[in-house]
């Protein structure tokens, strides 16, 4: 069964049709990249999936359950978590507190659990685990806003997975990074998405072709091709519409 499925998804803003009938099925455990030119609607697609706003028509299914129309916090608690194109962390909180907050938040409506000693101990342990996973043990008490850009992005990935979501959406996680920073980010993404379902938007074709099991190409709100990296690379329609620019 598909972990994440988009069915005839459409989104218009006023008279602008931005997402124009997208069908996409991502099986559990797949790493799926969405590529396409600027303004194609990639971030809008993520906003529709994560519940930032409802689709004009069509459906988003998570683990066979319809989630479109539900608010973001509910979708998050059903097991889907995302990062943003513009880094979204609490700058005035420490690295550790950012993670702990994400873990506690995932307990959600079981709010009273926050006060149980056992739950707080579990949350602390999980936060330390993620801190270690993202390689920021040394920066535990550093205000997140003082981290380097690459470390802020690593923290954001940590926050995204800290609550235990099984479907992860990452929006341009390596944009603006050096080669070395990109390599580190890819290694982190690979480790934290092991056994999870990943939908990733990326412009760096080295990252996309190295990481993705399958790729969908979005152009002006339509998926013009879905396939393995080899299929996408060899598809003349894709070359013409997009890839020529970035991965020749």
Q: Does 224 bind ligand ADP (CB under 6 A)?
A: no
The contact pattern for ligand ADP, residues 13-32, with x = CB under 6 A and - = no contact, is: x----x--------------
| Given 14, 38, 117, 195, the residue binding Mg ion (CB under 5 A) | 38
The piece of 33-41, 69-77, 115-123, 130-138 that touches Mg ion (CB under 5 A) is 33-41
The contact pattern for Mg ion, residues 60-89, with x = CB under 5 A and - = no contact, is: -------------------------x----
Q: Does 40 bind ligand ADP (CB under 6 A)?
A: yes
Q: Does 39 bind ligand ADP (CB under 6 A)?
A: yes
Two tokens, residue 106: 């995932």
Which 3 state secondary structure label does DSSP give 38?
coil
Two tokens, residue 147: 């981290």
Q: Which of residues 41-60 bind ligand ADP (CB under 6 A)?
A: 41-44
Q: How far apart are CB 16 and ligand ADP at their closest, in Å?
A: 6
CB 190 within 8 A of CB 211: yes
CB 199 within 8 A of CB 47: no
Site of tokens 């809008």: 44
Q: Which does 112 bind (CB under 5 to 8 A by kind): Mg ion, ligand ADP, none?
A: none
Strand order through the sheet with 31-35: 80-82, 167-171, 197-201, 31-35, 214-219, 222-227
CB 134 within 8 A of CB 159: no
């Amino acid at each position: 069964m598909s972990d994440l499925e988009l069915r005839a998804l459409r989104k218009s803003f006023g008279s602008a049709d931005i997402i124009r009938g997208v069908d996409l099925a991502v099986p559990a455990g797949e790493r799926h990249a969405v590529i396409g030119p600027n303004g194609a609607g990639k971030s809008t697609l993520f906003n529709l999936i994560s519940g930032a706003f409802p689709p004009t028509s069509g459906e988003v299914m998570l683990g066979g359950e319809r989630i479109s129309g539900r608010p973001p916090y509910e979708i998050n608690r059903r097991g889907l978590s995302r990062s943003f194109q513009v880094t979204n962390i609490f700058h005035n909180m420490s690295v550790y507190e950012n993670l702990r907050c994400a873990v506690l938040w995932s307990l959600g409506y079981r709010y009273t659990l926050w006060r149980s000693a056992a739950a707080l101990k579990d949350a602390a342990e999980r936060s330390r685990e993620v801190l270690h996973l993202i390689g920021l043990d040394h920066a535990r008490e550093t205000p997140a806003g003082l981290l380097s850009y690459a470390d802020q992005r690593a923290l954001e990935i940590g926050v995204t997975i800290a609550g235990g979501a099984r479907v992860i959406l990452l929006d341009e996680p390596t944009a603006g990074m050096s080669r070395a920073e990109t390599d580190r980010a890819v290694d982190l993404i690979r480790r934290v998405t092991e056994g999870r379902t990943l939908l990733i938007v990326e412009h760096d074709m080295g990252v996309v072709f190295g990481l993705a099991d399958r790729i969908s190409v979005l152009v002006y709100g339509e998926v013009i091709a879905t396939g393995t990296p080899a299929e996408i690379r060899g598809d003349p329609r894709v070359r013409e519409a997009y890839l020529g620019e970035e991965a020749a």
